[in-house]
Amino acid sequence: MPGPLNGFRIVDVTQMISGPMATMILADQGADVIKVEPPGTGDLTRALAGRRHTISPAFAVANRNKRSVVIDLKQPRGIELLKRLVARADLFVQNFRPGTADRMGIGEAALREVKPDLVYVSISGFGETGPYVHKRTYDPVIQALSGLASIQADPESGRPKMLRVIVPDKVTALTAAQAMTAALLAHERSRTGPILNGKGCAVRSNGPNGFRTTVSKPPPGVSATPMRASSLLLRC
């Protein structure tokens, strides 16, 4: 029996966990997910522990029910091939650092030239603005900066402890999957009525677990910067 997202096509160029796990959920629900991987190494999770042949357990789980294709996005021919895929897709998702997709020629404006009603999804560590916007972000970094490690601190020593099950990555994936489904729903409705008024829609969420730390009046001698952990931006 076809899943509820049967008929939707997703072009996914994300790597590691948060993006692939999000599109895995859509694939489990029936969406046609085309995973684009770079030549040579492929998705970085292919090389994680327990690999057999070219697939690790982490890669197999996060990328189940998808179709995979190798495209070199560093070459003009690769960008042309990607745009041909996007032209027949409903949603495109990437998790490059902000600005990278635009430099590559696959930013929102560039892809809307081939698919004007495309749902364009960006998953990034610290959103699209701010002092950390261009920094690399991994699960332990988010645990530390969001305060998650401090919450789990040892009661006697006070030393912060990491959660070893990459909770921020997984919560980001769950949030992204729900937001992408909502964006697809809004997109479908807009085709038959003026719900979006031709100006598009934006959905933004903060993760993991909605952590956002802002100190309006820090103590003397302490500088504090508003911080967002794992940001998701969708436009449709």
Kindly list the catalytic residues.
169
DSSP bridge pairs for 141: none
